[in-house]
Amino acid sequence: MKVRKIKFIILSLFIILTLRLCIFNNKIGNDLMIHKKGDDTVTVWNFGNSYFKLQSAVNKENDAVKEKVLSDDHKKSYMELYPDMYVDSIKPVIHLEEKKMAYISFDDGPSYITSDILKTLEDNNAKATFFILGCTITTEGEACLKEMVKQGHTIGIHTYSHNYKDIYSSVEAFLDDFYRDYLLIYETTGIKVNIFRFPWGSYNTYNKRIRNDLIAEMKRRGFTYYDWNISAEDSVGYPTEYRIKNNILKELDRFNNPIILMHDSSVNKITAKTLPDLLKSMKEKGYDFDTLDHREPYQFGN
């Protein structure tokens, strides 16, 4: 009697386990979804609402990835702009070490005083670099650009507008403005300019949001930018001939191959008046003069 009872219990347990297994397998069959796409078979487990929650999360993640990809694509879309604005990079000239070479540069021109500066440079057999603002180019300015080329000076770009709110609002905006200047200079002189100077220098508070991308893009296109290590301070306050000259001469010996920042805009009449005496003093110190495209780049932050 005792043995029969045990057998009955075992049989009951077996039947219960068998029924549960059948129910479980049936649920698996319902919850298992087979999706076919071409020759590929994808198995998806569907556990009620959990599947839909998981799928929703996956969809959101995929959408986020798509948005990031689109954002990255948009970020680099400026690379497609102005396919004709690519240049050969500069090839600096190696001067003898014992030769003292200075590089005078003028920003913000041309203006009506540029012709006076060109005359002084020619009289002193001195070469210089002019970073041009497109918005200042008049008929007289066009003549100055042609004279710069004729005398062997170098022309660089200083943007068209010099408007920090516009040019530094995005890489695209900078390229738009830069291209106007680039094209205008090319149409006037036939020169494809390959050097430039950022308004307020390469490291300023206005371009910090786009600085790295902007520098990388300009380098990718072959352009080289130059900052400076000596400033005449001729566009600050109320400069005098003495102050302009002193600001330069007191700093000369601190740098090898100094790059001097001056201006030839219409408000810099004192600069033009100072230049003859400045060149004379620098020659007495043993300096010769050359253009920046013959010098290795000097750039803030490097």
- Domain residues for the domain of 9 are 2-57
Question: ∠ CA(163), CA(84), CA(227), 5° rounding?
Answer: 45
In this structure, the answer to whether residues 138 and 227 fall within a common structural domain is: yes
Residue 72 has pLDDT above 70, yes or no: no
- For residue 12, being part of any structural domain is answered with yes
Domain total of the chain: 2
How much is the average pLDDT of 92-118? 89
Report the C-alpha gap between 179 and 270 in whole angstroms: 31
- Core vs surface per residue 200-237: b (16+ CB within 10 A) or e: ebbeeebbeebbeebbebbeebebbbbbbbbbbbbbee
CA dihedral 6, 11, 14, 18 (to 10 degrees): -160
Confidence (pLDDT) at 97? 64
Report the C-alpha gap between 92 and 95 in whole angstroms: 9
In this structure, the answer to whether residues 181 and 35 fall within a common structural domain is: no
103 within 8 A of 129, measured Cβ to Cβ = yes
Distance of CA 76 to the CA centre of its chain: 12
Please, which pLDDT band fits residue 33 given cuts at 50, 70 and 90?
A: very low
Mean of the per-residue pLDDT values of the chain: 84
Residue 174 has pLDDT above 50, yes or no: yes
Q: What pTM value is reported for the model?
A: 0.75
How much is the average pLDDT of 20-26? 48
Report the C-alpha gap between 180 and 136 in whole angstroms: 12
- For residue 288, being part of any structural domain is answered with yes
In this structure, the answer to whether residues 237 and 124 fall within a common structural domain is: yes
**pLDDT, tens digit, for every residue of 240-265?**
999 999 999 999 999 989 999 999 99
Identify which of 131, 224, 144 has the alpha carbon closest to the alpha carbon of residue 189: 144
Confidence (pLDDT) at 190? 97
Q: What is the CATH number of the domain that holds 219?
A: 3.20.20.370
Residue 230 has pLDDT above 60, yes or no: yes
Report the C-alpha gap between 4 and 11 in whole angstroms: 10
How much is the average pLDDT of 126-145? 97
In this structure, the answer to whether residues 220 and 160 fall within a common structural domain is: yes
Residue 291 has pLDDT above 80, yes or no: yes
In this structure, the answer to whether residues 40 and 150 fall within a common structural domain is: no
Handedness of CA 160, 161, 167, 173 (dihedral sign): negative
- For residue 76, being part of any structural domain is answered with no
Partnered with residue 52 across adjacent β-strands are none
Confidence (pLDDT) at 93? 75
What the block records as the tokens of 73 is: 């694509």
The lowest-confidence range among 47-61, 63-77, 80-94 is 47-61
In this structure, the answer to whether residues 172 and 275 fall within a common structural domain is: yes
